[in-house]
A and B are shown apart, each in its own frame.
Chain A
Amino acid sequence: MVGEVPLYAGRAAAPDSDDPEAISAWLSSMPTIGKRELRRGFPRALVRKSCDLKAEMARGAVEIIATSGTTENRLQVLWEWSWWDPQEREAMRYNTRVAEAMPPGAPFREAVLTTPVCGGATCHVGNLSRLERTVDGMLFLNQVADPTHWSPAELDRMLAEWNELAPDGVEADPAYLAALCRYATQTATRMSAPRFVTLTYELATRAHKRAIARAIDAPLYSLYGSTETGVLFMECTEGRLHHNARHSHLELLDAKGGLGRVVVTTLGRTWMPLCRYELGDVVRPTSGPCRCGARDEGYQLERVEGRLADCLQSVDRLATPAMLDDAIDGADPRIEGWQLQREPDGAFTLGVVGETDGAQAAEAAAGLLEARVTPRIEAAILPEGSGKYRMVRP
């Protein structure tokens, strides 16, 4: 593949062997790439010489879509349903409960609740009908860039559509689903229970999960990946995340303290193959047989810790967004949302949303960061331009 894709020109050819050690050694000898390289080279430098991009796009087999990363991390990618769907479904079936709920070939009702960027409703086409928001059997519920701007009428419309569809499975951004669930709880609106909910697009906080669990009687599972890499991990019924190993080769570069930085090489991808692509996230790996019985063929994670750019270095350790969430929520579970902001003097302000002054949470965050943290009550947390939330603004 490296010889065919202009971005990787000049790199050593792959070893003529299936020996995993030889392949690993070859990969680790190459430089990593990041979003900057993908943006600069897009799309020509990322297309195999033998592929006719224009023709495939004209045929509708490949399209260009934008990811929904934070402002600095957004990029466009080449994307095709024929690749996405099979690898996503394969990953999801690592979870036995999900696999039972969506047997191959059987009808499956799915609802998606995320940013309109991810849901494809970003064009200036006005409000779309339910039919127009249904793609390949998936109903995209949201049309507003910031859930804070959901009006009661909009919330009622989404809840009505949810209940009419009675989805078997739901794929959701946890921040968006938590907001919808809080409204459902406040208004005592029943939400039809799906057989499972996958939380993806961004890190789920403990408060998100609590708000969702209060309104929906369904198991919540994390699904981790990205638009450009495909699904990398799926959480099993025992709470571990299993590597979708047939579709990617992973390296977890040491980030100290038992953490790893995720580096991905896609496997078998025709369009936009990635070679040693650093995703920008930090994870906590684990090992040993899992009680769920899934085949042990790749990495397993205890959890995803968050974006590397949102991690903070305290005196002797890296504080990740997930660790901060543990500390903040552990100190004060009344907090519905939070965002940590570094001030010019090196101290931090902890913006909190909820029926609290945030003092205990600020104290807990200060203990983790070994820095001064001042709480501040906020009306809401501002999402980034993409609609996703940043937990730490370093």
Chain B
Amino acid sequence: MARAAVQRRLTWRRGRVTRRVDETPRVRTLVLALEEDWPGHLAGQHVDVRLTAEDGYQAQRSYSIASAPEDVGQLAITVERIGDGEVSPYLVDELTEGDQLEFRGPIGGYFVWDETPGGPLLLVAGGSGICPLMAMIRHRAARGSRVPTRLLYSSRSLEDVIYREEVDLLAARSDGLEVFHTLTRDRPAGWTGYARRIDLEMLTEVGWRPDEGPLGFVCGPTPLVEAVAEALVQLGWSPDRVKTERFGPTGG
């Protein structure tokens, strides 16, 4: 039976930052301690984060939960510093271990995966669009699932790849997870992976055939998401088997 998080009134809660992880030069993961009344989340759900200044000014953003539901008692969000943003520079550079962060969640019931929809999985990420997909990959690993899963992940350069070591380690378990990188700007010497924006040809090579009944999750900047969703439908995928999550321009 489909497992859905218990739904109750959505209230703002506070979590203490227990750990920070440098993922790339511009991306940092924050791990928050959860209280016992946290209802649990589904892979792909997000939280709303709210910052309050001393004069009462508030700013609110949404961040995908990157940790697996099985990672009980804590929750990880991964934040990319947007240069002229007002929230992400604070979360990446200012907030530190011991600080409290106000958030509410888990939120969202559409862009979620809990193993029941079936079919092989195609996960397509652009940049920090990997975050909700990472929750799915970690959930899959924690459950010991062998659902055939392919991750196609577009980054600017190798040093911009978030969770690179962990993804490579999980792929090395040979339990049905395959990982394909494409680097759109800079490539290290001897790079043999893809070296261009995701296109129809790449999706033909990496994606599943429509008759294999695949389910797709696409997350990233709007242009990437719309191009990938369009290409998959062109390849014969049913539109309702392609779930998308776009980044807005207020991601900062």
Task: Indicate, yes or no, whether A interacts with B.
Answer: no
- Contact residues of B with A, CB < 8 Å? none
